[in-house]
Structure 1
Amino acid sequence: MLARLSRGETVGEGAWLIADRQTAGRGRLGRNWQDGAGNFMGSTVVALRGSDPVPHTLALVAGVAVHSAVAGLAPDAMLKWPNDLLVGGAKLAGLLLERQGDCIVIGVGVNLASAPELPDRATVSLAELGVAVERDAFAADLASRLAAELAIWRSAGLTETLARWTARGPRIGARIAANPHGDERLTGTYRGLDPEGGLLMRLDTGAIRAIHAGEVELVRPEED
């Protein structure tokens, strides 16, 4: 999708590019985005309008859509800011946003059939949870849910999307750690989202800090 847009090609909003396999996928912060046969690996385009909320909050829109598509299959699924879906603390799905001109490409990867082994985090697939999902059926459902969430984002405003994401995210007061770009590791508790979609955390010093970029992780008591 991104390559097509960079060449000046027109890609209609709502169109999806779905890969059977990936050889050069990438995730957030330049990480390798490993593929697996039977998994969902797709991207779609949002054409920005002047009346739209701030573009980076499309990560929240996509997160809610992915969660909704998975919730009936994995009831314990939970969103982790800014772009992961977890089950039991293990990563089930990830999102990546990239901009080309007035378009945002949303990349989505969901471990339907298998989960890659990653050195820095636990992963899981729906198959490991005992759930069999046909990739194309999942793709159609996700496309429908993303279109609905995008309509809410545009018509009801960002406040509604923030509320929908928060209902699917960590509990308020959960222990978290953050590594904002250029800062040292911060620890504290999750306090929700700010009006622009940033993550709010109460530091151990008592101060409230808004995180707008960087890595955030949930912290178990034994890791604190």
Structure 2
Amino acid sequence: MELRTVPRTGSTNDDVAALAAAGAAEGLWLRAAVQTGGRGRQGRAWDSPTGNLHASTLLRHRAADPPAPTLALVAAVALHEVLSAYTAAPDLRLKWPNDVMLGGAKLSGILLEKAGDAVVIGFGVNLAWHPAGLGRPVTSLPAAGAAAPDPDVFLHDLAGAFARWVSRWRGEGLGPVRGAWLAAAHPIGTPLLARGADGGAIEGLFDGLAEDGALRLRLADGSRHVMHAGDVFAL
């Protein structure tokens, strides 16, 4: 495991992708104190000021590994585990596939990008500050009454947790990860709005995860909808 910190960059995901293309080994982590071109899923801008965590890591996907997209659940479980050590809030919950919510507001985001056998996993966590005026609820640890941790210390904790969960994912399959994710998620029966990649929206009740980690929704007519990609919002 190698942890690097730079004072400023455009995107840690872009930097780690370039390092991967140059032959960097799995286990590399790059944190930027300030990130000027951070992005979330579907290209959304991600504010990245000093004090928050903006970091990316590299995994080399192996033929025997579970499918690469399931690393979204691995990353979410690892991040939730670490955040749970910094706040005792009972409403620290996972929202599919990998958002950590605190009090119903978004505390962090995770972005996976794949190129060949390289999977870059970017973490953005509002350790000290959160933006306003986004049109959706967001929060930070201090806003929820917790102290803001040192980003380098937090990164060290996160790197260790992620390595442990990757080891289980490789050695035991998706089952333990899926179980941990469900234990940290909002309750079964939570009303959700799911929006697919085509822009179509569907409402239903959270009905857990399929064996492959896909989202299951129970619709009003009693049928089940399974979603493999898209955005989910609590109603």
Q: Which amino acid aligns with 1:46?
A: L
**Contact 2:16-2:120 at 8 Å conserved across structures:** no
Identity, % of aligned positions: 41
Q: Which amino acid aligns with 1:30?
A: G
Q: How far apart, in 1, do the equivalents of 2:169 and 2:109 lie? A: 20
How far does the alpha carbon of each residue in 1:99-135 deviate from its partner, in whole angstroms, 9 at most, with x for none? 1110100000100010012423111111212322111
Number of equivalenced pairs = 219
**Contact 2:73-2:98 at 8 Å conserved across structures:** yes
How far does the alpha carbon of each residue in 1:161-209 deviate from its partner, in whole angstroms, 9 at most, with x for none? 1111111111111111111122532111000001111000001121101
Structure 1 alignment gaps of length 5 or more: 220-224
Partner of 2:23: 10
How far does the alpha carbon of each residue in 1:31-63 deviate from its partner, in whole angstroms, 9 at most, with x for none? 001111100110000101111000000000000
After superposition, residues 126-205 of structure 1 pair within 5 angstroms as 126-132=141-147, 133-182=149-198, 184-205=200-221
How far does the alpha carbon of each residue in 1:69-113 deviate from its partner, in whole angstroms, 9 at most, with x for none? 001223321010012100011000100000111010000010001
SS of the equivalent of 2:59 reads strand
**Contact 2:17-2:120 at 8 Å conserved across structures:** no
Q: Which amino acid aligns with 2:176?
A: E
TM-score by length of 2: 0.89
Partner of 2:139: 124
Counterpart selection for 2:121 from 106, 119, 122: 106
Q: How far apart, in 2, do the equivalents of 1:32 and 1:20 lie? A: 17
TM-score by length of 1: 0.93
Counterpart selection for 2:42 from 21, 29, 34: 29
SS of the equivalent of 1:176 reads strand
Partner of 1:84: 99
Q: How far apart, in 1, do the equivalents of 2:188 and 2:133 lie? A: 28
Structure 2 alignment gaps of length 5 or more: 1-12
Q: Which amino acid aligns with 1:17?
A: L
SS of the equivalent of 1:99 reads strand
